[in-house]
Each structure stands twice: as C-alpha cells, then as structure tokens.
Amino acid sequence: MSLSADPHPTVHFWALESLSRVADSAGLTFSGYVSSTLGMLAQLYVLDSHNQENASFTSSNLEMDLPTVTAIARCTDSVINVLGPDLQDMAKARDMIMTLVGQFQTEEDPLLLVESLRCLEHLSLYAPGHMDFTTYVQRLQHELGSGFQQVQNMAIDGLYNLMRRDAEEVIRAANPGLEDQLWNVLDSNPDQDVLKNIVRNWLQQTGLLTTAEWIQRCHTVLTKIKSQIEPVVSTAQAKRIIVPDLQDEEVAGFAVAAGATIDSTPGASVCTQELLRWQVRAFAMDCLSELLSMVAKNSVPRGESRAEAALQQRIADVVRIAFSASTASVVRLRIRGLGIIDQLLKIFGKVPDPDFAEALLLEQYQAQISSALTPAFAADSSPELAAEAVNVCATFIATGIVTDVERMGRILKLLISALESFSGASEVVAIGDLKTLSPNAQVMVKMAVISAWAELQIASLEQKYLVNVVQPYITMLTPLWLSSLREFARLRFEPDISTMSGTVSVSGNLDTMYATLNRETLLKFYQDSWLNLVDAIASLIDEDSDFVFDALDGIPEPPTPSGIARQGSEINYRDEPVAFFFVLFGLAFEALVGRQGDDSLATKEQTLEILLALKKILRPSVSGHAIYQEVVDEEHLSEDIDQLFELTRIIVLVLAGLVPNLTGNNSQGTTPNSFTMSLVANVALPQLVMNYAAEVFPYVIKTDLHACIIHIFATILSSGVCQASVVSHALPIFKRFVTAVMRKPQTDTVSQVRGALARFLVILRNAQKRESEAALPCERNTLLASTILLTSVSSAFAPSDPLVGQFIDKLIECLESRMTTKTAANCSRSLLLLPKGGPTESAIAALTLSRLLSFLVSPPRVDGVGESSSVVAHVLTSFVSTLQAEQRPTVMALVVPALLARTSKEGQVLFNETSARLLDLANVDQKAFRGVVANVTPAQRLFLEEVIRAGSGPGRQARPAAVQELEEPSIALKMDFGG
C-alpha cells in the first residue's frame, strides 16, 4: 500500500495491480483492510502524479501505457467482491464505493469505463436495494451504442445478469428502443453468444405468458429493414478502378460506360436498404422453434393452455414466417423454416378448426406447406434441406390432414419416387430434381427417406388410412430397413480403422484418416434414424407377416402381385434365432446399457420405446424356439443362445445398477435432483418390461430373473431418494409382477415370496429408527408394499407362517403411532376385507380382527389416532358383511360390545357415529343383530338404546325392525279432562 503512493507510474501502477490481486485471492480475510484501502484509493485518485492528464513530461508516456486510474477502479471492484452481500450493512464503505464509482463514470477513458461498469455490475448483485435500478439500466443501454468493443461487451454482460433475473423489469426500466438496440448489436456481431443468451433467457421467462408478442417479435426481426449509407466513388476514381489494364477496346468501353453512370458529385452517397444478416434471422427462427417446443411441452400434460390458445390464434403468422424462411436464398434459413412447419404439424396436426369442427386447423394451409416443400427438391437445393423436407412430408401424411391417398398429391409422389430411387430400381440416385449427390449425401438422404417410411409404418398402427399408403411398398422397405440397421451395427461395433492401425499422425496415411472421419460422419446419419427402423420392424413382427421373417432370415422374397403381404396364421416357432436377431438385440442392448452422452444411441425419453420394441423382438418366431424350452440342455445350446442368456442377465444387472445402494456401496453421492424423475423412466418402466419378459423365459433363468426383480424392488423401497417419486410408480408394477409369478409358481417361487416379506420387515424395522428424513415415507411405503404382497399372493404363505404374524404386529404398532396411523388403518382395511378363498386368508383375517378389536376398545391417547379409530370401526362393521350367514353372529357378538366400550369411554361425541355403525350391522343381518342384543348385559342394552336414540332424528335413514324394537314407544297423555 505504501508503494501505491510512489510518484513513479511503473511503481504505483504495479503496486495497485498487486493489491487488487491480493484482495481477490484473500477473500474475506482481506475485510480488515477494507476501510484503509478505500481511503487510500480515494486519495490516490485525486493526486496529480496518478493522473495521465497531469503527469510530468518525463513520465507521461509511461502513464499512457500503465493507466493508474484504471488500476484504482480495478482495486475498487476487488474490494466490492471482498465485502459481497455485507455491503448492505456497511453504510460508510458503501457510500465511499458509490462515490468512487460515480467519479469513474465521468471519465472518458474506455478502459476506465469498462472497470466502472464491472463495479456497477457487482454492486447490483450484492446491494441491489442501494442502487438506482432505472439509472443503471439506462446507463447500460447507452453503452450498448459505444464505439469501443470492450465497453459494449461489458454493457452486454451487465444486461445479461439483470435480464437473467427479471427480463421484463429491465425492459420496463429502459428507454424505448432497447429491443431494437439488442438486435442491431447482434447484427453487427452475429457471433455474440452473450447477447443470444439474453434473448433466450427472456424467451424462457416470458414465452408462455406473452406467446403472441414473441411471435410478432420474431416476425419483426425477420422482416426488419436496416438502412446503410455508402459513399459513391467519383467518376475518375471509378474509371481508375474499373478499367482493366487490357488492350481491348470493347472491354474498356464497357468499363467507361459503367463508370459514367455513377454520380461524380464530390461527397455524394447512396442509401441502401437490406434485411438483417442471415445469421440474425436464423437465430430468430431458432427462438421461434424454441417457443413452439415450450408450448408443446406445456400443453401435453395439462391439455390446452393459454400459450397454446395464443399460438393457435397466430398460426397464420407462424405459417407465413415458416414459408418465407423456407423459400429464402440461404440454405440454413430454409432448413429452419421447414423445421417450424414440422413442429406445427406435430402440435396442431390433429386439432380441429375452431370455426369448422368437421375440418382440421391446418387443412387450410395445405397450399403453403406444399409450396414450402417444393424448393427443397429443386436442382439448386442441398442434401440437408432435402432430408429435412422428407421428414416434413412424412409428418404431413401421418397427421391425417389428408386421409385420401389420391388427394395426397405431390408430397406422397415425392416419397414414392425417392424410395424407388434408393431401392435400386432406378439407375440414377435422385430425389426430385436434386441429383449428382456425393456418397455421404446419398446415405444421409437415403436414411431420411427410409426413416420417413418407418414413421408412416409405425403411425399406421393407429391411423388406419396409412395402411393403404405403406402396404404396397412394405416388401420393398423391409430389406432397406434391415440392410441399413446391419450397416449401422457394422459401423458402430466393428473396430475403428484408426484403433487397428495405431495412432494416425497428420503426415500419416490420408486414406486411413479419411476412412475414420467418414465413419464418424456416417454414424451420425444412422444414429438419428435407427430407432424408427427398429420400431417399424417390431411392428411388422407383431403382425406376424411371413415376408418379414424371411427378410429377417436373409431369404429374398418377391412381392406378391397385389403388393399385400401375406399374414401368418400362427407364430412360427424355430430352433434357432433368425439371422438378423442379434443385430436388433445388440442395438437395443447397447442403447439400454450405454452411458448418456454425445455418443449414446438413445436419450432417456426413448428408453420406453426401445424396451417396447425389445419386447416384440423377444418372440419365439424371432428369437428362436430353444430359448423357450422348459428344459435346456447345455450341450445342444448354440453359442449364440448361450450368449443371449448372459446378455439378458446383464441387462437386469445394469438396470439394477441405476438404483443407488443396490451394490451395497452407500458412497455414490446420488442426490434427489439428479435421480428422481430419471428413475421413473429408467427403473420402473424397464422393470415393467422385464416382468413380462420374465414370464416367457425357461426355468433355467426364470428363477434368477424373479430374484433380481424382487431385489431391485426391495432396494428401491429402502432407498431414501426413491421415496418421493419412484416408489409410487413401482408399487403397481410390483403388484402385477407378484400376481403373474404366482399364476404358474415354480419350485422356488414360494421361498422367494416369503423372502420378499422378510426383507420388507427388515426395511420396516430400520425405518422405524427414524435415522433420516426419508425414514417416515419409507415406513409408510413399506407398509403398503407388504400389504400388497400379502393380499396379492396370500396363497404363498401357510396359515401359521410366523412372518404373517410379525407383520400384523408391526401393522398394529404403526396403527398406534401418530405419524403412520392413517396408512396402517387403510392397510388393515385391505387385510381384513381380503376375499376368503383359502385357509391363509381366514388366518390373516382372524389375526387382524383380534388385534383391531383390542385397538378399538383401548386406543392410545395420541393425536390423530381418533380418526383411525373411526376407520377401524367402519372396517369391522364392513367385515361382518363379507362373512357367511353362520359366521356373522359370532363376529357380531365381538364387534357390538367393542363399539359400545369405545363409545362409553369417549362420551356423546361418538353417539352419532356409533349409531350409524350399529345400523349398518342391523342392515346386514337383523336376526343375528337381535340375537346379539338379547345376550348383552342389561347395562349394555340400556346404553345401546341410548346411543341409537341419540342417532335418530329427522333425515335419518329408515330404521330396521331390529332397531325399532329397541326404541321406547312415545306415550301422549291427554291433559284436557274437560268435556
């Protein structure tokens, strides 16, 4: 700090620079020096020796190279970062900083302006309440037009931080024209990513609230005209520039004539008008596409939203924007225009017109859509544009805007001609007028075409009119789908050329380098489409078409004369899998077990689609007959089938690895934020598919699969991060699984089910220790899971099984606990009202009945248990109605005294409730009710009559005869003894 006061520019500049770095690195430990540092900085700022304008002649050049005032501003910013949010409480330091920053803003030095804006940015972050927000925003808006790039970038950073918090507040505080300024600055520098992020944040915050305004905003940017003044070159200069140095009179004459048409007035200029740069317009189209995605995601789970209604009202403008972009001169704009059309078709393709309910909303825009697609297949188009147009064609046909094949016109003809071209029927590979494609371009367009037809095949399962569209060409499509998947598998799984030949240097074999890069390029084309091809083939397998199985076996089969595929009458069971089975299984397996990333085969959202396709592939007609034999002889197993068993076990283990703590390692550090929603798709749904897959496997692996699934579910049940959102999805799946397992029980099935209940009891005891926040929901969920297990597969337990008694004891403990009493009461209802189909069900009912009667007579004095007592009373009366006639008097003789004992303890508060329960019993069996009342003690009978009379009154239901006998008759005495 003492060196900072040295008059020499080099000394005090680097001293201040060092002080700034020390403050930045020290952090809060520098807070003790804040007051002295601010005082010193204020003194140095006013010194003549620390100012470039008043520097001596000997040091003026050094002061220009080493600006001291900029270093002072940098030190001030470091002090601001040291104090942080404490600035709000330190009035003296805050006022000193505000004064210094205010002085910095009066300077004209660009570097000092940059540092002052950085100070203001941090002040707005740490002490926003002590700044004039409007003045700061307008200051940033003013600096957007600065001629210095550093100042402009600093202003953009400040606006980004403000608009990230509340974009609309910034727009309201700014002077009119901030939006135009942002687009103009982006036009001058299209690579400014921070400016694009400002617009994206603004869109994310307000897109669903002001959808119509954002559509208009994007339209304004796409049609915005900017004026540009260009100086005119004089005639003499034009002649010197234009006339070439050639001895050609004709060329010279043309040049002179051209130059003579220019205005030769000195200082003249021409004003030209043009659109914003195509990069800016492309970004506006990206914003519109993101807006449509936001509206689509918002409307799917909640039905029609306000944003969707606003978009529907402005759909004509969106179609106009997309049409204009798709016919632009820039290919990237045309691709984005077609992408907007594709999104509109997916969002509103099946929405009826609000004015004409019999027609679809987009039906009136068929001409614009068709016109937008036509240029994509012109001779001057590009492969990327043609591929995007093919996807739009498939989406248009699949949405059902036109259901008559004859009226689909040019769009369907383009798909048909492209299919015939790429199927080898045509000598020239072309799509529309676009010809002379490179090999990679041919692969890209070919994959787009066959993927589009695959989408139509998948959609034909629901849209029956598409059967007439796809069926005539299905025998041509199937070999194309299979060959493309085979090529994709080869590129994906075969060793890379570069890895086989070692590291390739820049000066190495160019052919090897080209082959490696070409492989990566082709992989991207296949990776975008492979799942559609697998789904399409799986749908054909589901239809049991003969030619599909021949194609899977590699047997060529000519199409039938009518073009309609033959339908198999029954499933073709085989001894070995089809030749193509392991390609399909390998791709699905790789997609399921691979890590998510740029190189992954599928996203999390596609997991369910892959599993459903895998379910169709694991059929005897595809995977072979050997896999479904009950007794598998290892000697007769082919190597492929043996590998299939191992891969199936690996799938279960990998899916199990998605659950934390499954391997016994608790140090995974999984947090609910990264785990909750992904588990629903990656655990519950895969487990659902494996449930059904496990039913068709032979005994040699069926037992292992059952044990793995039970272990996975038990681990989910015991994991704290799974309680909130995963267990609720897994419980119904577990119920279906155990029910399916007990339909055809194996030798080890009973022991597996008993082991599951024993595991649940251990989880329940651990949860009752309350060692974590998730212990309470874990206890409740374990009660539900155990109840589901007992009620679904009660036949797996013996009537005297000690595990059943242990669970009922735990259930009553939870019933008497304030936190779990409601869940336990509902579980008791399920156990007691379980249909009596065997001795185990009767034993469970007997154990539960005795414990519930004790609970009803002597409930614990705990908050919340009173409501559970009412539930138990209702359950007991309902239980009587499920019994046979000869059993009702015995049980009713137990329930009625219990009800009366509970009511006598609680008092008149329960008279109405108990009266209703007694009426329920009388309605079930009046004869049995009379017998119970006749056998009670006189005191109990009097109390029973009092309770029933208290429950009688206007509006009550009709009284059974057995109850009317208990009510005392009312006697009216005649008091008028006169004549």
* Dist. CA 219–CA 340, nearest whole Å: 13
Higher pLDDT, 229 or 940: 940
Domain ranges of the chain: 3-189, 883-951
Structure tokens belonging to residue 297: 């995601």
Write down the pLDDT at residue 120: 92
For residue 271, the SS3 value is strand
Higher pLDDT, 589 or 137: 137
**pLDDT range class, residue 181, cuts 50, 70, 90:** very high
* Dist. CA 362–CA 367, nearest whole Å: 10
Task: Dump pLDDT digits (tens) for 13-23.
Answer: 888 888 889 88
CA distances from 756 to 54, 170, 661, 803 (A): 87, 59, 17, 11
User: Is CATH 1.25.10 the right assignment for the domain spanning 3-189?
Assistant: yes
* Dist. CA 588–CA 606, nearest whole Å: 11
* Dist. CA 325–CA 648, nearest whole Å: 49
Structure tokens belonging to residue 812: 């009553």
Structure tokens belonging to residue 211: 């959808």
Write down the pLDDT at residue 784: 92
Q: Residue 694 pLDDT more than 70?
A: no
* Dist. CA 11–CA 271, nearest whole Å: 53
Region 709-735 average pLDDT: 81
Q: Residue 966 pLDDT more than 90?
A: no
Structure tokens belonging to residue 547: 């030619």
Q: Please name the residues in contact with 89: beta carbons below 8 A apart, sequence gap of 6 or more.
A: none
- Choose the most confident range, by mean pLDDT, from 321-325, 645-649, 749-753, 935-939: 321-325
Task: Dump pLDDT digits (tens) for 609-655.
Answer: 777 777 777 766 666 654 455 444 545 545 545 555 555 555 555 55
- Choose the most confident range, by mean pLDDT, from 227-231, 427-431, 642-646: 427-431
Evaluate whether 683 touches 617 at the Cβ level (below 8 Å): no
pTM for this structure?
Answer: 0.65
Write down the pLDDT at residue 553: 62
Mean pLDDT rounded to a whole number for the chain: 78
- Choose the most confident range, by mean pLDDT, from 6-10, 51-55, 916-920, 967-971: 916-920
Render the burial of 287-307: b for 16+ CB within 10 Å, e for the rest. bbbbbbebbbebbeeeeebeb
3-state secondary structure 355-397: CCCCCEHHHHHHHHHHHHHHHHHCCCCCHHHHHHHHHHHHHHH
Task: Dump pLDDT digits (tens) for 872-928.
Answer: 899 989 998 888 888 888 988 898 888 888 888 888 888 888 888 888 888 888 888
For residue 352, the SS3 value is strand
Q: What are phi and psi of 255, to 5 degrees?
A: -65, -45
Q: Residue 848 pLDDT more than 70?
A: yes
Question: Could you identify the residue written with the tokens 């009136």?
Answer: 364
